[in-house]
Amino acid sequence: MRTTLPEAFPAHTPAVPQIFTIVLSHGPVTRAEIARRAGVSPAAVTKAVRPLIEAGYLVEEAGEDLPPALGRPANALRVDGGRALFIGVKVTGDSAIAVLTDLRCRIRVTRRASLDDRSPDGVLATTGELVTELLVEAEGFGVQVRGIGFAVSGDVVRTDGTVRYSPFLDWRDVPLGERAAAATGLPVTVENDVRALTVAEQWFGAGAGLTDFALVTVGAGIGCGLVVGGRVVSGAHGVAGEIGHLSIDPTGPPCHCGNRGCVEAIASDPAIVREVRARTGIHVADAAEALALARGGDTAARQVYARAGEAIGRAIGSLVNLLGPERVIISGEGLAAHDLFADRIQDAFTVSAFGTAARCEVSTHPLPFEAWARGAAATAIQSFIGSDSRSGGSGWR
C-alpha cells in the first residue's frame, strides 16, 4: 500500500470546519447565508473561506439568480468535490464493502469481498486488499486519497479507533484504527456503523437541514444514530442511541447483551428467524425465507412480524419522549419487511409518544448497502476537515 501521508487541510480559524461543512451540505451557498447558518459575522466568514478558496477546496461562482447582499454581488460558494478522495469501509459479520468517494462523498468506485475469517488479522487482510484496489483506482483520478474510514457495529471509541465490542465480529478491545493506519500509512477513522451512516444522512440525505433527528436502522441488529442540536452524539461512554437494547418485555427472549426482551431480541432479522421457526415448526433458513412465509399468509409468521413492529414502535416512542426530534428516519435491510410491520410501528409509536411528541414525523428511507460504506467515508472527511469533535459533532444548521 501507499505510505505517503496526505497533505493537511489548510490552517484555519476555529470557524473553518463549521463553515466548510455548511458549504459541503448546503452549497452552493452565499456568504450571507453561511453567516446566518453559522451564527458568525460576515467578516469571520470571509476570513475562513479565503484560505479554502486559495487551496482549491472551495470554488466561487457567480450567483445571477441570487439576491445581492449589502450592495455586493451574491456569489455562491461550493465545495470542489474533485479536490480530494476518501475511502470508506463497512465491515459486517460476513462481508466487507469499500467505496472510493470524492470530497462531496459521492461514490466513484465500489468493491466487495466476503469475510471467511472474522478475526482482526483476517478482517485487516481482506479489507487491506480492498483498500489497495481502491488506491490503484484513485491514481486514475489524479487526486490523492486523504483518509480512510471504517464503520463497524458495536461499541467503538472514535477518539483512538478502538473497537471495544462488536457482537457480529466477536471482537473485544481491538485497536483497529492503529493497525489499519500502520498498514496503509494513511489517517484512519473508526466509527460505529450507525453513527457513520447518520453523518452521511445529516450532510447529504434525509436528515439534511434538520437540527434534531434520529436514524433507526433495522436488520441484523437494531441501531440508532442521534443528532441533537446539529451534532451527532455518542454520549459520555460512546453508546448513546442504543435503542436496540431497550428492554421492551422483561419476560421476553434473551438478548446477547445479557438482558431479556430487548428490541433487538424481538425485532432484528436473526430474532425474527428464530421466532418464526419456533412458532411455525418450519426451518426457515434466513430472513428472506421467513419473509416469504409471512407474505404467503402464514398466520404465525405474520404475528412475529407484527410483534417486531410493535417493539420498534414502542422504542421509537420512548426515544421521541426523551429527545423530541423533528424526525425519526427508519432504514436498514430490515425494511424489506416494511409492509408487514409498518402499521404496527406507527400504532405503537402513537400510543407511546407523550402529548405533542406524537407530532414527530416517522418516515422510512431505504438505502443501498453501499450507503454504510459511504458513511464511513463521511467520517474520514470529518476527520480531515477537523469537524469531528469529542461529542461526535459533524454538522451545523
What contacts 24+ positions apart, CB below 8 Å, involve 40-44? 40/15, 42/70, 44/13, 44/15
Range 166-171 contact pairs with CB under 8 angstroms and sequence separation of 24 or more: 167/221, 167/256, 168/92, 168/93, 168/220, 168/221, 169/91, 169/93, 169/118, 169/123, 170/118, 171/118, 171/120
Residue 123 DSSP SS3: helix
Q: 209-364: what CATH class?
A: alpha beta
pLDDT at residue number 7: 64
Q: If the chain, 397 residues long, is cut into consecutive pieces of 10 residues, what is the mean pLDDT of each piece?
A: 58 81 92 93 91 92 55 78 97 96 97 96 97 97 95 93 94 97 96 96 92 95 94 86 92 92 96 97 96 97 97 96 95 94 95 91 92 97 79 36
**Which homologous superfamily does the CATH classification assign to the domain defined by 83-200+371-385?**
ATPase, nucleotide binding domain (3.30.420.40)
The model's pLDDT over 105-128, given as tens digits with 9 standing for 90+, comes to 999 999 999 999 999 999 999 999
Over residues 311-355, the pLDDT tens digits come to 999 999 999 999 999 999 999 999 999 999 999 999 999 999 998
Domain boundaries, the chain: 16-79, 83-200+371-385, 209-364
Is 16-79 in CATH node 1.10.10.10?
Answer: yes
Distance in Å from the first CA to the final CA of the chain:
38
Report the C-alpha gap between 225 and 234 in whole angstroms.
8
Q: With beta carbons less than 8 A apart as the criterion, state whether 148 and 380 touch.
A: yes
CA 326, 330, 331 angle in degrees (round to 5)?
135
User: What residues have CB less than 8 Å from 30, skipping those under 6 apart?
Assistant: 63, 66, 69, 74, 75, 76, 77
